[in-house]
Amino acid sequence: MNDLASSAGEFFVWAVLFLGVTLILAYRRASLSLSSCVLGLLLLSYWALGSAPEWWKTLVSIPYTLLLLMNIRPLRVRSVTRPFLRSYRKLLPAMSATEREALDAGTVWWDGELFTGGPNWQKLMSAKVPALTAAEQAFLDGPCEDLCAMLDDWDITHTRADLPPQVWSFIKSQGFFGMIIPQRYGGLEFSAYAHSCVLIKIASRSGTASSTIAVPNSLGPAELLLHYGTEAQKNHFLPRLARGEEVPCFALTGPRAGSDAASIPDTGVICKGQWQGSEIVGMKLNFSKRYITLAPVATLVGLAFRLFDPDRLMGDRADLGITCALIPRETAGVTIGRRDFPLNVPFQNGPIQGHDVFVPIDAIIGGFGMAGQGWRMLVEQLSVGRCISLPSNATGGAQAAVYASAAYARIRRQFNMPIGRFEGVEQVLARMAARTYIMDAARSVTAGAIDGGEKPSVPSAMLKYHATEFGRMIANDAMDVHGGKGICLGPKNYLGRGYQIVPVAITVEGANILTRSLIIFGQGAVRCHPYVLKEMNAARNPDRETGIAEFDRALMGHVGFAISNAARSLVLGVTLARFTKVPRVGPTTRYFQHVNRYSASFALATDIAMLSLGGYLKKKETLSARLGDVLSAMYLASMVLKHHENQGRLPEDLPLVEWACRSLLYQAQEQLHLFLRNFPNRPLAALMRLLIFPRGLTYFPPSDRLGRSIADLIMNPTAARERLSRHIYKTPGTNNPLGQLQEALILSTVAESLEKRIRVDGVKTGRITALDLPGQISQALTLSILSDAEAAVLRDYDAKVSALIGVDDFAPHELRAGTGGDACTAGIGANSSPDS
Ligand SMILES: Cc1cc2nc3c(=O)[nH]c(=O)nc-3n(C[C@H](O)[C@H](O)[C@H](O)COP(=O)(O)OP(=O)(O)OC[C@H]3O[C@@H](n4cnc5c(N)ncnc54)[C@H](O)[C@@H]3O)c2cc1C
């Protein structure tokens, strides 16, 4: 009996030793040779010291022998790499040229670190802190403020269905259309960060104006010319675009080619034709486009089409591929000017058709050398533009909505309480604020990375998707907090049009369902993974022997990487990541550690999914989307942590940081859990669950108490509230509801105590009998419950609140289309812009 117990004890000790050493080697990512040496020494010790029978020791040595053999490269290539490569080639998903170009576009940045299972935080922490130059700040404080003051959104959206002429000329003359154009061409040459801040300010005021300004500064003629144009094209067009003498648009989408934009049926055929009185070789274009922003007023159309050269006039290729050209509006055969009407937010948008439009070859952006390069050009530039336009517009809308909702929740009373003091409303305000913090963090840190030279293509998809989705949630929440005040349209309504425009942001620049299901993880897995692209390129290498050598290197690295991530995921899951290295010790330490943990689990899940599902993973969009959600949650949490650092680790902002990180990391856990629940190979799902959630689902979303402290932060005139909405237009004035709400909020801190005195000393004692506040103030004055000065303060506050909670009403005929009715009450922002 004793013998049995001691051999079981010995077995246990050796088993723990072997497992422990293997786990440490894997966790520390030891090389194959080092692992072989260490395990070899351990095995020798076992042979020498262990009392187990010979047959058992021999059995234990078999896996080690196999490991040792893997060190002999020729043997490994013959017995493992070659057969695996044969199967791998069959599994490899077919990839079109356009997909390959999309994969090659842009750079890999922090997204790549998250795929490693052990992100190098130094890389993120040392990234440039985004900042405005003096000229950029002056533009925000000058022309940008002035533009915001000129904008009357009710007049724009309801009366004119357009920006007023003086706003158009101000936008053009002040260079708003040339923010990305270098100064040598007459542009403003703003950093990505400054560009983003300008859009935030304008978006907080008018969606019509911000969409109008975003487009010429995003993917379109200017950006394409800058990167690919010939010197002659740049010198001719860029100064004209910078001065607003040309209004550009970019036409890719057509009735049959929406999300699948690479399938455009629009053609250009190289042929001879008449141009300015002589015969030249040019292109005959036939196209039908729709939804094109600025098209109705554009003077210069950037056009994407498929170029053919059937008569081989320019070379030996008949199908040259997608090509981008610049077509002046007045070119014969172009039909332009009609308008689409995007959800009552009437920025200029409409269709363009072209029938047998003949233009010279040098209309191609970059000249004939760039024929067929159109798709690459578009996806390359999208990786920058998609980080800025829509995320900034959504952030501007969100910042304005939070700023307004928190103040409104303080001044609007029901049941004798500010509505923001009710727990239900408090939690809604908290999530609005924390999501806004996430949006601001992600757009500013990523803009900083762009200014540092990155073209982050996968983050651009994450930012576009999540900023617009958060924008949608915040718009909904703001409407709920405002109740009927948000619903009744009119000059006094500062929310309705922002709410209406939400689906536009969701749909454009890659519709969100597609972006989540196909792009974020689909592109990320191949682009950012440290080995997958290398393996794919090696497998496709036409030089077979070089391909095998490259594939062998990548495969060995990949196997070690996967084993290491399995070990890391298990260890970090068991220890809840308590002992991992972080760049900062303090209140945020645990969030850094949890990102480390999810990075390891995500990397493991990614490898197992790709290995077991291969090309089928592309079809399993819901699995791919969930992995994309995990990646996004880690990315956004990292942006929040870096943003908090960039802003000087302010303790006052900690509730926002904590809420943001907690909710994002909880999201990461839940999406991993759902990924495992839906993974088709159940034994593999069980194995992954063991390695990823060895202690079950342990992470919880933010607490109610945390929510309450955030609501407190933003329902008071705190510095955190100002920081959260730092770039929006909140200048006090008669035509700015945000400024007026802030004034009322500041007054409320005094007025509330006066109201309380009226209630306690007057109403409850029966001395004050009036039911409304104005009557109560008068009685309180008579009864000396309030002094003259206090009564004046309370009357002023009450007048402000009455104006702010008021809504517009209309005579029936005023609401009929085409009557352009004025609201019967003069409200916030009503008829106050210079043009109205
Ligand atoms: C207001 C506005 C302004 C615009 N401005 C411009 C412009 O200036 N220039 C320009 O060229 N285009 C512009 N567009 C076009 C815009 O880019 C397209 O609307 C967008 O690409 C989606 O195409 P679609 O509307 O045809 O939707 P569809 O492609 O028909 O998609 C419908 C739905 O199906 C989903 N879906 C499609 N394929 C998949 C898939 N494989 N997996 C999962 N889901 C999928 C989409 O996510 C979407 O939810 C604009 C559109 C609007 C509405």
**b/e map 558-585, b = 16+ CB within 10 Å:** bbbbbbbbbbbbbbbbeeebeebebbee
Nearest CA to ligand 1 atom 39: 514
- Residue among 166, 17, 6 nearest 835 (CA): 166
**Mutate-to-test residue for ligand 1 from 213, 247, 250, 291, highest number of ligand atoms within 8 A of CB:** 291
Enclosing H/E stretch for 593: helix 589-613
> Quick one: CA torsion of 131, 135, 141, 145, rounded to 10 degrees?
-110
Q: Of 613, 466, 458, 598, which is closest to residue 522 (Cα–Cα)?
A: 458
Does residue 830 surpass a pLDDT of 50?
no
Give residue ranges with CB within 6 A of ligand 1.
249-253, 258-259, 291-293, 342, 349, 504, 507-508, 511, 513-514, 517-518, 621
Assess whether pLDDT exceeds 90 at residue 731: yes
Return all residues near 13 (Cβ < 8 A) that are at least 6 apart.
none
Instruction: Give, for ligand 1, the residue of 249, 259, 617 to mutate: max count of ligand atoms closer than 8 Å to Cβ.
Output: 259
- Please give the DSSP secondary-structure letter assigned to residue 250: E
Q: pLDDT of 424-442, one tens digit each?
A: 999 999 999 999 999 999 9
In one-letter notation, the amino acid at residue 491 is: P
Distance, in Å, from the CA atom of 350 to the CA atom of 229, rounded to the nearest integer, reads 26
Cβ-based neighbours of 452, under 8 Å, separated by 6 or more: 127, 128
Burial state string for 119-132 with b = 16 or more CB within 10 A and e = fewer than 16: bebeebeebeebeb
Quick check: 355 pLDDT over 60?
A: yes
506 C-alpha vs ligand 1 centroid, how far in Å?
9
Cα separation of 71 and 31, whole Å? 10
CA 76 from chain center: how many Å? 44
**pLDDT cut 70: percent of the chain above it:** 97
Q: Is the pLDDT of residue 496 over 90?
A: yes
| Average pLDDT, integer, range 732-746 | 93
Contact call for residues 265 and 233 (beta carbons, < 8 A): no
At residue 307, the pLDDT reads 98
pLDDT (tens digit per residue) in 236-283: 999 999 999 999 999 999 999 999 999 999 999 999 999 989 999 999
- pLDDT band of residue 826 (cuts 50, 70, 90) is very low
Nearest to 180 by CA among 231, 222, 141: 222
Supply the residue whose CA is at minimum distance from atom 11 of ligand 1: 252
Residue 459 alpha carbon to ligand 1 centre in Å = 20
Tell me, what amino acid is at 254?
Answer: G
Span from the CA of 390 to the centroid of ligand 1 (angstroms): 14
In 3-state terms, what secondary structure has residue 293? strand
Centre of ligand 1 to C-alpha 513, Å, is 10
pLDDT(771) > 90: yes
Q: Which atom of ligand 1 is nearest to the CA of 289?
A: 11
Beta strands 267-275 and 300-308, pairing class = parallel
Closest ligand 1 atom to Cα of 513: 47
Instruction: For residue 505, give every residue at least 6 positions away whose Cβ sits within 8 Å of its Cβ, in sequence order, or none.
Output: 390, 393, 394, 468, 471, 472
509 is catalytic: yes
Beta strands 278-293 and 334-336 are: unpaired
Q: Distance between CA atoms of 359 and 323, rounded to whole angstroms? A: 14
Write down the pLDDT at residue 385: 86
Closest atom of ligand 1 to CA, residue 347 = 1
335 phi and psi angles, rounded to 5 deg: -110, 120
Q: Is the pLDDT of residue 27 over 80?
A: yes
Here the tokens at position 351 are 């269709």
Nearest CA to ligand 1 atom 48: 511
Mutate to test the pocket of ligand 1, among 253, 305, 393, 501 (most ligand atoms within 8 A of CB): 253
Q: How confident is the model at residue 91 (pLDDT cuts 50, 70, 90)?
A: confident
Sign of the Cα torsion 305, 311, 314, 315 reads: positive
Q: Around Cβ 259, how many Cβ atoms within 10 Å?
A: 14
Binned at pLDDT 50, 70 and 90, residue 823 comes out as: very low
Number of H helices, E strands in the chain: 35, 9
Mean pLDDT of the chain: 93
Give me the catalytic one of 189, 509, 535, 658.
509
Give the nearest ligand 1 atom to 215 CA: 8
Q: Which atom of ligand 1 is nearest to the CA of 259?
A: 29
User: How many A from CA of 547 to the centre of ligand 1?
Assistant: 39
508, 509, 521, 620: residue to mutate for ligand 1 pocket, most atoms within 8 A of CB: 508
Instruction: Determine the distance separating the centroid of ligand 1 and the alpha carbon of 251, expressed in angstroms.
Output: 13
pLDDT at 819 (0 to 100): 53
C-alpha 614 – ligand 1 centre gap (Å)? 28
Structural contact between residues 496 and 487, judged by C-beta atoms closer than 8 angstroms? yes
307 with 372: CB under 8 angstroms? yes
Both tokens of 229, joined, read 């144009």
